[in-house]
Structure 1
Amino acid sequence: MTTINPILLEVFKNRFAAIAEEMGVSLTRTAFSPNIKERRDLSCAVFDASGEMIAQAAHIPVHLGSMPLSVQAAIAACDMAAGDMVLLNDPYRGGTHLPDVTLVAPVFAGGGRPAFYVANRAHHADVGGMTAGSMPLSTSLFQEGLVIPPVKLVKRGAVDAEIMRLLLANVRTPHEREGDFAAQVMANATGVRRLCELIAKYGLDTVSGYAGALLDYAEAIARARIARIPDGRYEFADVLDGDGLGGGEVAIRLAMTVRGEEAELDFTASDDQMKGSLNAVRAITLSAVLYCFRSLITRDVPTNAGIMRPLSVLTRPGSVLDAHFPAAVAGGNVETSQRVVDVVLGALAQALPDEVPAASQGTMNNVTIGGLDPRTDTPFAYYETLGGGMGAWRGGDGESAVHAHMTNTLNTPIEALEYSYPFRARAYGVRTGTGGAGLRRGGDGMVRELELLAESEVTVLSERRERGAYGLMGGKPGEPGRNTARIDGETTELPGKFSRRFPAGTILRIETPGGGGFGQR
């Protein structure tokens, strides 16, 4: 195929994206856990024969930007036949953190090698490790849960029962995990079926040709957008509060150079990897960069690997943004990714002050709770991220109490929460007045109070507890977040990162940060 029809290009852009979206619907509707079924902590995408992402559903940026590396790791490790599916979660093979489990399936079209791949990634509420929920204050990857290298979970259409037994023997909630794994398998089966239908209708040469054309199309639009950024060198730095294990602030530093239609992002001056779990693997850094530059493009461009072609990302092995195995990484995916976005947008704001917002809350406010449910006498594991304030920009105030940037999940509805877990929701609302002041005000954070109805192990990984999200152009920073526990009427201040066991009756209160303000009044 040599001629690209622009109408067909648009058709294929939407057909590929629709396949990923349908995969997501299948996974959401068949999953067992509230984290996937209700919060939609999952992502689905379509890949070409080399593992380059062609299209994605409108799911989670931190998943999608790193998923190509997992797909490529699966391709390199396993010789896949029709009906096979490869499972992995290893952060050092394209993963993010251990609870994010990726399943990859090949799509054959008559040849000896796969013509395409489909993949989904879902956050499992528990994959073992030293604390319930598998998001501990860890010092090693091995403390965080079961590490799964690329392995065939499905062989010729049948789930490998031995591998499944091994997986389920290492988690606290095996029934829920088995249901979520089955949902991932069915989501991939949906994607394979739809791609085969597309190939049957148009032919492999045409479908492959337009897949490649979509990558080129996205690259061209990205280059045109970068070309409108003034050439120059832009530097910015921000810090993480610390790793929760006694270490101080950790700096993320960026020197961004824009030349014509290309940009180089140099993070090599960032601090060394830390003892605790806020280290990020390189895949996380790439995800954050992709998200930021995709966000600059206002046109309806496909989000695929073409957008990264004009971008060069430099990281230093052994640093907080390119950690060495077996560094702990549970929090790098959720917290450090948010700070990378803050830093990239801070640099871009120097070049594009009218287009880039102030910092959003800068954290996902991760809460994991586990224990024994007295209603069923079985273990439970709960995981949730909480929204906060978005940063203001020249065109308007920041949104309040929403998930921002690298997370795109929903909340767990109160009805589902109280049905599934031994909790009672005591408060849930906007944390009024916490957005940064300015000509445009930052969005407000939120408050969530949970009463624990059983003795529970609670782990929280949260950021922006020491200093608020930065403002721009004279705007004030947002209010920092706050964590407390009330036991027998007495309130105790809690750090941004902690893991503790609380008695039944404890009221856990999470107050999330506000976004930064923009401009002076």
Structure 2
Amino acid sequence: MGLFASRVAAICEEMGALLGRVALSPNIRDRKDYSCALFDRHGGLLGQATHIPVHLGSMAQAMTALAASRTWSDGDVLVLNDPFNGGTHLPDITLVAPVFADDELCGFSANRAHHADIGADAPGSMPVSTRLEEEGVLIPPSLLFRAGERQAATWRALPGGGARGAGGDFDAQLGACQLGVGRLRALVMEAGLAAFQARVDALNDYAERVARAALADIPAGEYTFSDVLDDDGAGTRAITIAVRIRAGEGGVEVDFDGTSAQVSGNLNCPLAVTAAAVVYVLRCLMPAQVPSCAGAFRAVRLVAPEGSVVNARAPAAVAAGNVETSTRIVDVVCGALAQALPGRIPAASQGSMNNLAMGRAGADGWDYYETLAGGHGAGPGWDGLSARHSHMTNTLNTPVEVLERHYPLRVRRYAQRQGSGGGGQWHGGDGLVREYEFLDDAQLSIISERRLHAPWGLAGGQPGQPGENRLDGEQLPGKTSRGVRRGQVLTVCTPGGGGYGPE
């Protein structure tokens, strides 16, 4: 099983290498804001690359329904970004292609990439929004290619479709999808269709056995925890995320009853994003040899009240749910598990992706988006890492040289935020400081968390310092959108991680 799982994962890694190498935008090429995976004929996860947890977990949650939603033909390519129909938030565009061998459907190749321009009025397409329609162009599952023929109407409806510079990124995604199709078809043909399907079934059964054994380490019982999001940018503060984990012989149930109702702002999560965060945490409890396939999560049951911030109803605004709420879900699941597994769970990491979107509309306009790293939580026996992305994101910061070459921005400071990690026997990691000077007038949007409520320490450790956003030294809210002038300076100080154990 190990060899088969490794061959599938290697295909996904190769898909990612191609996508990152061919893409044109710094957001995809340099920040690596993309993910690749393969699925079986029923849409069950078969394997994935070591890319972005929120992308991969949400794709795995949605693919079963997408696979059953139509009659597929060889050469089809489906495109979508609808958060309530297989997507996460609008900037994440997904391509799905079926894999046929001997005229039989045997799997799917898919990838998801974040596009900085998805047609929102706000540059960077991450506005402080209150309606889904404000966040950009909604793409329901649509055929971009039908039996190998490009569908011109669908292509024209895509944001950019080449006209605003996104064509190269779409072509990179298409190339990665087709690479996955070819490699998986070859794997199927090598084994034979019946033998390949038998290996898929055996892989899932093996993953289930090993995963159940790992989850059985959680003592039987109920474990609760809650935390809050700072605010939704539309007037609602201290938004509660509550969880109750029930562990027993049947597996693990993760119940979000008691979580706040969906909000006016854009912190709402589609259920697939919530599932991605839960799966990520539980996967971290499993040994490395557990294959990343559908069978690994048969023992996990998710309960999320419909209409809550973790299972929002359409057409709720969701731009920040994918990036900020997903991260807080990780915190509360970890907080509950820390009671069940003392000595295995670290303190809270920075708890935000510190989303920055900048740009200017018009024929000579530009769009820039990135997330910023921060401090990791410390654990029993280790200090938290400093100035690193954590949990639901696995991207890079945009390199200074790339940023300054492509955009009218100057990075005046880029440094570790010394002393921002929480104290304790083991110290939380430090956040970072990144300072931007605007070389032209622009529009700025910030969506950030942990500005009011600090990342918590554990086992007597101290909390990390909350983050700060400042424009010319003036404090900014955690979520804001405003015009900026040439010469102004934005400073973002990201949160530190919580400490572990008393000093």
Alignment TM-score, normalising by the size of structure 2: 0.98
Structure 1 residue 302 displacement after superposition: 1.4
Alignment of 1:391-430 (within 5 A): 391-430=377-416
Deviation at 1:158, TM superposition (A): 3.4
SS at match of 1:92: coil
Q: Counterparts of 1:249-288 in structure 2 under 5 Å?
A: 249-260=238-249, 262-288=251-277
Q: In the alignment, what sits opposite 2:492?
A: 510
Q: Contact between 2:383 and 2:426, CA under 8 Å: does it hold in 1?
A: yes
Q: Verify: 1:316 aligned to 2:305, yes or no.
A: yes
- Does the CA-based 8 Å contact 2:290-2:296 persist in structure 1? no
- Contact 1:226/1:260, CA 8 A, preserved across alignment: no
- Aligned-pair CA distance for 1:498: 0.3
Q: Which of residues 149, 171, 174 is equivalent to 2:140? A: 149
Deviation at 1:357, TM superposition (A): 0.2
Give the SS at the match of 2:424: coil
Q: Is the 8 A contact 2:348 2:455 kept in 1?
A: yes
Q: 2:222 corresponds to which residue? A: 233
Which of 456, 472, 483 is equivalent to 1:470? 456
Q: Which residue in the other structure is 1:138 paired with?
A: 129
| CA-CA distance at 1:349 after TM superposition | 0.4
What amino acid is aligned across from residue 381 of structure 1 in structure 2? D
Q: Please give the alpha-carbon distance, in whole angstroms, between the structure 2 residues aligned to 1:315 and 1:252.
A: 11
Q: Counterparts of 1:83-122 in structure 2 under 5 Å?
A: 83-111=75-103, 113-122=104-113
1:95-494 → structure 2 map (5 Å cutoff): 95-111=87-103, 113-168=104-159, 174-260=163-249, 262-371=251-360, 378-486=364-472, 491-494=473-476
Match of 1:53 among 45, 49, 56: 45
Report the alpha carbon displacement of residue 261 of structure 1 after superposing the two structures with TM.
5.3
Q: Counterparts of 2:215 and 2:449 in 1: how far apart (Å)?
A: 31
Q: Which deviates more from structure 2 when the two are superposed, residues 58-67 or residues 301-310?
A: 301-310
Shift of 1:360: 0.2
The answer for the alignment partner of 1:6 in structure 2 is none
Q: Is the 8 A contact 1:71 1:104 kept in 2?
A: no
Distance 2:293 2:90 in 1: 24
Out of 471, 480, 484, the residue aligned to residue 498 of structure 1 is 480
Whether the 8 Å contact between 2:243 and 2:332 is mirrored in structure 1 is yes
Q: Secondary structure at the match of 2:165?
A: helix
State the secondary structure of the residue aligned to 1:457.
Answer: strand
2:23 corresponds to 1:31 = yes
Q: How many residues align?
A: 503
Structure 1, unpaired ranges of 5+: 1-8
Could you tell me how far apart the structure 2 residues matched to 1:174 and 1:322 are?
35
Aligned-pair identity (%): 50
Give the whole-Å Cα distance in 2 for the aligned partners of 1:509 and 1:496: 12
How far apart are the structure 2 equivalents of 1:73 and 1:32?
31
Kindly indicate whether the alpha-carbon contact (under 8 Å) linking 1:372 and 1:454 is maintained by their aligned counterparts in 2. Answer: no
Query: 1-side partners of 2:43 and 2:258: how far apart?
Result: 30
Distance 1:59 1:21 in 2: 9
Aligned-partner residue type, residue 328 of structure 1: A
* Secondary structure at 2:253 match in 1: strand
- One of 35, 41, 54 as aligned partner of 1:62: 54
Q: Match of 2:237, as an amino acid?
A: G
Between the aligned partners of 1:33 and 1:159, the Cα distance in structure 2 is: 23
Q: Distance in 2 between matches of 1:227 and 1:355?
A: 14
Q: Deviations over 1:335-388 (max 9, x none)?
A: 000000000000000011111000000000000111159xxx622111100000
What is the identity, as a one-letter code, of the residue corresponding to 1:222? A
Calculate the aligned-residue CA RMSD, in Å: 1.4
Q: What is the Cα deviation at residue 73 of structure 1? A: 4.0
Cα distance in 1, alignment partners of residues 69 and 117 from structure 2 = 25
Deviation at 1:156, TM superposition (A): 2.4
Whether 1:17 aligns to 2:9 is yes
Task: Return the alpha-carbon distance in structure 2 between the equivalents of residues 98 and 25 of structure 1.
Answer: 24
Whole-angstrom CA distance in 1 between matches of 2:311 and 2:66:
21
Name the SS of the counterpart of 1:264 in structure 2: strand
Letter in 2 for 1:462: S
- TM-score, length-scaled by structure 1: 0.94
Contact 1:482 1:510 in 2 (8 A): yes
Q: Distance in 1 between matches of 2:164 and 2:209?
A: 47
Matches of 1:92 and 1:46, distance apart in 2? 21
Residue identity opposite 2:119 in structure 1 = G
- AA at the equivalent of 2:98: P
Inter-partner Cα distance in structure 1 for 2:193 and 2:439: 57
CA contact (8 A) 1:458 1:499 kept: yes
CA distance in 1, matches of 2:321, 2:17: 28
Which sits farther off after the overlay, 505-514 or 160-169?
160-169
Once the two structures are TM-superposed, the CA of residue 301 in structure 1 deviates from its matched residue by: 1.6
Local SS of the residue matching 1:65 = helix
**Distance in structure 2 (CA, Å) of the matches to 1:441 and 1:87:** 44
Whether the 8 Å CA contact 2:123–2:361 is kept in 1: the answer is no
Q: Is the 8 A contact 2:42 2:68 kept in 1?
A: no
2:410 and 2:72 mapped to 1: Cα distance?
Answer: 47
- Extract unaligned runs of 5+ from structure 2: none
Q: Secondary structure at the match of 1:342?
A: helix
Provide the residue aligned with 1:5 in structure 2.
Answer: none
* Contact residue 35 and residue 412 of structure 1 kept, 8 A: yes
Contact 1:284–1:333 (Cα < 8 Å) also in 2: yes
Distance 1:293 1:360, change over 3 A: same
Whole-angstrom distance in 2 between the partners of 1:76 and 1:453 = 50
SS at 2:487's partner residue? coil
Mapped partners of 1:100, 1:22: distance in 2:
20
